[in-house]
Structures are given as C-alpha cells and as structure tokens.
Amino acid sequence: MLERGEVANSWRHERWDSLRLLTPNWLSRLPGLRYDGDDPDGYMTTAEVVAFIARFAASARTPVRTGTTVTALRRVEGGYRVTTDHGEIEARAVVIASGACNQPAIPAFAGDVPRGIEQLTPSTYRNPDGLADGGVLVVGASATGLQLAAELRASGRPVAVSVGEHVRMPRTYRGRDVLWWMDASGVWDQRYDEVDDLTRARGLPSPQLVGTPERRTLDLNALAADGVELVGRWASVRDGHALFSGGLRNVFSLADLKLRRMLDGFDEWAKAAGVDAAFDPPERLAPTETPRSPRWQLDLRSGEIRTIVWATGFRPDYRWLDVPVLDAKGRLRHRGGAVASPGLYALGLPVLRRRKSTFIHGIEDDARDVIEDLAAGLGPTQAQTPRPRVATA
C-alpha cells in the first residue's frame, strides 16, 4: 500500500482546525475496529480521526509504504507498472484508493476576482484568525460552506454565503442522529445498480451537517438567524461585480422538498419495521426562509469582501494515471469499483457500490466486494504472484 505522506495524511494536513467527523462515533467503524470510547453519540475531531485510522493501520498490520508518491501508472504486459518517487513496482492488479477530494473544484471566473481579495479553499483554511478583518464571501452551502460560514460569522465578521443546490438534513430526527436513520432504514446500503440516476447520486453534494458536542442542526435558517446573508449561486464576474443567480428560492424549495421526502421515507420505514413507537413523534422542519430581496450582485472592488472561501467541492486528481479510463469529464469509468481496464479497481468514490461508499463505515462492504472480484480475476495462480497493491496518491 502506497501513501504519499503518512497514514491518514489528508486528515493530518488538509483539514481546518474545528472540523469534526459528520458521522457519529458509534457508526465510525472499520473492519475489526469499533469505537470503544465513552461518547458513542459524539463526533471525532480530526486528531481523533487520525488516531483511529492509525490504530486501524496498526491492528490490520497494513504494509504501508509511507512517503511514497505515485507519479505514473501504466498498463504493461500482464498488469501494471507503478512509478513512484522511490522507484517502480509491477503489479498484476491495482486498486486506486486516492479518493474523490484531491483538488478543490473552483470555477474559472475565480481568475476574474479583483486582486486584493484573498481566496482560500477548505484545504488552505485553518481558522478565522488567519483571515483579514472584514467581510467574507463563502461560496457553497454544503457541509463545508455552512460550517465555515458559521465559524467566520461567530468571529464577528460580516459573512455572505452563495447558495446553489444543496442537501438539507437535520442533525437529529425523532431523537436519533439522522445518520442512524440512513443506516437503519437501509438507505445507505442501496446499491449503485439500484439507484435511479447514478450519475446524479454520484454528484450529490455532502449533506448540510456539522458534528458538534451539542448535536446542533446547522441549516440556512440557522445561519440567517446568526446574521449571515444568503445570496444565489455565483454565476459570473462582470466589471468587478459578482453576479448571483436569481433562482435562490427554487434551490431552497428543491432542498426542502427532498428533505420532506427523506423524512417521509424514514417514517414509513419505522412503521413498516414495527418500531414507530420507539421514537419521538415525526417532526418537520420549517421551510428555508428566502430573504426579502436577495442581492444578485456584489461589488468586489468596494472593500466589503476581503476574503473568498471556495467551498465548491473537490475533484479527484488523476494526472498520474496513464491508463485511458477517464470519461470526457475526467471521472474514472468504473462499474461498482471495477475500472474499465483489466485488473484495475477503485475504492472510496461517491456511491462506488453503495450510497455509504464514501463514509468511513462504508468501506468495509465495498472493499470486500471489490477485493473478491480482484482475487477472482487473479485466478488460481494467485499464490505464486506478487500480492495486489493498493495505491494512494
């Protein structure tokens, strides 16, 4: 197993200070390793996540070659040649486990933002102290955008959030963590070949959740109540002005409707499973309130905004992958983790095999399925051949 840095590298070096896992502790499990602390309903800090993964690496005796960056992967006779900054490795099979979040996905018009405004991404943001005093425009309203907006607003800065399509979720529902419902009702086990629109499911933004000791629900209404200004999806920059979509109301409606459908699904599951009485009564969240007249433009030269935080998601980095397995949009072409090249596999991508694929507890089932397929492909001569290697860039 190749790792460019240390075990749990991105959790050690590419996360902001206050981040906690979105998954409650009891659900954060890896094969053979379960949370055994005294706060099962809490959410791990990044340091705790690092310790958890390091513990797993030790207990699983994973042969990790740290400090080894993969610079190229090529198809050769009988398998693949992996080029690293510490030499080459030949393998009959390779698993790409470098994740979906290697590079911040920033719109091209970021280049038109006037100089003098600092631009940060979730990988470079650490805490509010690192920012200039003055206004912040947070772009994106998924988990990251909401968390950073709340933290920056609490630091006393004026904050605006540019909101596109998003997935709204309460932290708890009927007395249980909302992710408990996802788990128990079977939503998370839904397989990639059962999902209606797989492309859409794989592109869904992270749900609007935060892991806090108070198990707080952080939604757009909560942000607005804290004095955060909500504006539409940022569409372009013209003459030094940010132009926002006038469709804010509809992205609220879409998210509210989907939330209602999700909660209806949980209620139906509880009834069908005969466990309805075990929970608090069903509840519905207030609709997202649309500001009276949301701004659709903002003068970036006025000094009102000093910092822009791009919480617009991430994309994978496959620049090292010299095998023609990417689609026109740069996404890995695979069927449930079997990449469109013999002996090449992937793990840890959105809805790879199940809706839970990118959550920590989601890897176990996926890895078992993918490795089974991989081992079958290696055939009966497996014993004499080098063991498969997992590459993380």
Tokens of 358: 């990118």
Q: Which is nearer to other proteins, 13 or 200 (CB)?
A: 200
CB of residue 208 to other proteins, shortest distance in Å: 18
Binding other proteins (rule: CB under 8 A), the pick from 5, 104, 107, 247 is: 247
Q: How many residues sit close enough to other proteins to count as binding (CB under 8 A)?
A: 17
Which residues make beta-bridge pairs with 172?
177
Separation between Cα atoms, residue 234 and residue 151, nearest integer Å:
21
Kindly identify the residues of this chain, within the stretch 274-293, that bind other proteins according to CB under 8 A.
293
DSSP state of 189: G
Separation between Cα atoms, residue 118 and residue 75, nearest integer Å:
42
Q: Which is nearer to other proteins, 256 or 317 (CB)?
A: 256
CB of residue 68 to other proteins, shortest distance in Å: 37
CB of residue 307 to other proteins, shortest distance in Å: 23
Kindly state whether residue 236 participates in binding other proteins, applying the rule CB under 8 A: yes
The SS3 call for residue 30 is strand
CB of residue 161 to other proteins, shortest distance in Å: 18
H or E stretch covering 224: helix 220-225
Torsions phi, psi for 288 (to 5 deg) = -65, 130
* Residue pair 343/133 in contact by the 8 Å Cβ criterion: no
Q: Which is nearer to other proteins, 287 or 377 (CB)?
A: 287
Distances (CA, A) of 179 to 31, 91, 173, 340: 19, 38, 9, 33
Q: Which is nearer to other proteins, 104 or 247 (CB)?
A: 247
Separation between Cα atoms, residue 263 and residue 283, nearest integer Å:
9
Q: Which is nearer to other proteins, 285 or 371 (CB)?
A: 285
Separation between Cα atoms, residue 35 and residue 43, nearest integer Å:
11
CB of residue 38 to other proteins, shortest distance in Å: 42
Letter string b/e over residues 168-207, b meaning 16 or more CB atoms within 10 A of that residue's CB: bbbbbbbebbbbbbbbebebbebebeeeeeeeeebeebbb
Kindly identify the residues of this chain, within the stretch 304-333, that bind other proteins according to CB under 8 A.
328
Distances (CA, A) of 46 to 32, 218, 332: 21, 19, 28
Binding other proteins (rule: CB under 8 A), the pick from 13, 74, 126, 238 is: 238
How far is C-alpha 351 from the chain's CA centre? 11
Binding other proteins (rule: CB under 8 A), the pick from 70, 143, 169, 235 is: 235
Q: Calculate ∠ Cα 12-16-152, nearest 5°.
A: 175
Q: Which is nearer to other proteins, 94 or 259 (CB)?
A: 259
Segment interacting with other proteins, rule: CB under 8 A, options 17-25, 185-193, 250-258, 266-274: 250-258
Q: Which is nearer to other proteins, 232 or 362 (CB)?
A: 232
Q: Which is nearer to other proteins, 66 or 236 (CB)?
A: 236
Q: Which is nearer to other proteins, 77 or 196 (CB)?
A: 196
CB of residue 169 to other proteins, shortest distance in Å: 18
- Binding string, 131-170, against other proteins, x = CB under 8 A? ----------------------------------x-----
Binding other proteins (rule: CB under 8 A), the pick from 117, 187, 254, 326 is: 254
* Residue pair 237/109 in contact by the 8 Å Cβ criterion: yes
- Which chain residues interact with other proteins by CB under 8 A? 165, 232-233, 235-236, 238, 243, 245-247, 250, 253-254, 257, 260, 293, 328
